[in-house]
Copies of this chain bind each other. A is one copy, B any other.
């Protein structure tokens, strides 16, 4: 959910982000390619390309690997900088690096892009989705791209790890949509995953969340420029994307932080009294910021990401309990106390099921005023618990 706009505002508040702390963590984006990828929906994608980056060193046994999976609006840039003068580091730089909670002096930390990344036009994002060229037609897939699921994201990462000769994950750690991938990893490949950390996550979607996600898709489908998903040779549906991005940003926040970041409104602003179409300070601020980011996103990719999330039940099996019955990993759940998007009850549901199965999931809530985004901005408040879980 993190946005560039937000990051720009908030990087100053990031305790562990002093330039000294990450001066030595310079990272490089790499691309993993795979041919004839089979999807859960029974289709084949001729070529899949996803970006990935890594921090730390792979040991000789190749068993010191921690996989980081990213959230809806994010990408694989979880830590470090691409160049020393990058304005900001990766989103979880506070907990990934030398001597940090996820210690790159000990672990080889791999962070992977997903299929259908929401922002394929960002320079460092490598992804495959509806905006990619369909080799059969030489044109973007559009809605001919197969529906993909969180399990597909995991399967691409599995193929990436195989290509590196990695057969064990010391841990898989993800926030939000990344937490869905993390728990899916533990359910789909139980013999590979030793530890699973779900930050601001869920074991399965419920009707509330499925419908909330639907609201992120509908403005795009209403935008005339969307044109049934076929807009790659014309203007992109940027108004629909903008509306969607503001909704995503707001739902990922909490009123305290949201209000603190918004401009104040005088009483009865003159232009607002002149027409219902005229903006207000807060709406100009949030919709204006999102409009700037909209060209970096792809409308169809957002629709596909929404669908992947809507279909999520850990294990993609009969039900949540059946899926979680497969899990052998030690598990840690870190929901955010003030999360209004994936509220703590969702993490608790998974914890309850695991406990009923005789497992011993750990659970702690992240404090803060950012809501869902506390899983990104306040993750360092759980650095100790995280380090203890990872190292034991």
Using a CB–CB distance below 8 Å, which chain A residues touch chain B?
40-42, 143, 147, 149, 206-212, 214-215, 217-219, 221-224, 239-240, 243, 246-247, 250, 255, 258-259, 262-263, 265, 267-269, 272-277, 280-283, 285-287, 303-304, 306-307, 310-311, 313, 316-319, 340, 343, 345
Contact = CB atoms under 8 A, between A and B. Distances in A.
A212 B250 contact: yes
A341 to B, nearest CB: 11
B143 A275 contact: yes
Contact of A207 (B207, B240, B282): B282
Nearest to A209: B255
A273 B307 CA distance: 9
Contacts of A222: 219, 222-223, 239-240, 243
Nearest to A226: B222
Contact of A211 (B209, B218, B286): B286
B255 A210 contact: no
Contact of A41 (B206, B255, B273, B306): B273
Given A219-B218, A224-B224, A273 B40 contact: yes
A276 B147 contact: yes
Contact of A316 (B212, B239, B268, B282): B268
22 contacts: A147-B274, A147-B276, A149-B273, A206-B259, A208-B250, A209-B255, A210-B282, A211-B250, A211-B283, A215-B246, A215-B247, A219-B219, A219-B243, A222-B239, A222-B240, A222-B243, A267-B317, A267-B318, A268-B311, A273-B311, A277-B303, A340-B340
A143 B243 contact: no
A237 to B, nearest CB: 9
A208 B255 contact: yes
Contact of A255 (B217, B276, B345): B345
A241 B149 CA distance: 30
B313 A207 contact: no
Nearest to A315: B267
A214 to B, nearest CB: 5
A238 B304 CA distance: 25
Contacts of A304: 276
A304 B239 CA distance: 21
Contacts of A319: 267
B211 A306 contact: no
B208 A40 contact: no
A154 to B, nearest CB: 15
A3 to B, nearest CB: 14
Given A217-B276, A272-B307, 16 more contacts: A41-B273, A143-B275, A147-B274, A147-B276, A207-B263, A208-B255, A208-B259, A208-B262, A210-B265, A211-B258, A211-B283, A214-B246, A215-B246, A222-B239, A222-B243, A340-B340
Contacts of A340: 340
10 closest Cβ contacts across the A-B interface? A207-B262, A207-B282, A208-B255, A41-B273, A222-B222, A276-B307, A276-B303, A214-B283, A218-B243, A210-B282
Nearest to A323: B267
A259 B272 CA distance: 37
A277 B143 contact: yes
A262 B267 CA distance: 40
A310 B218 contact: no
Contacts of A281: 207
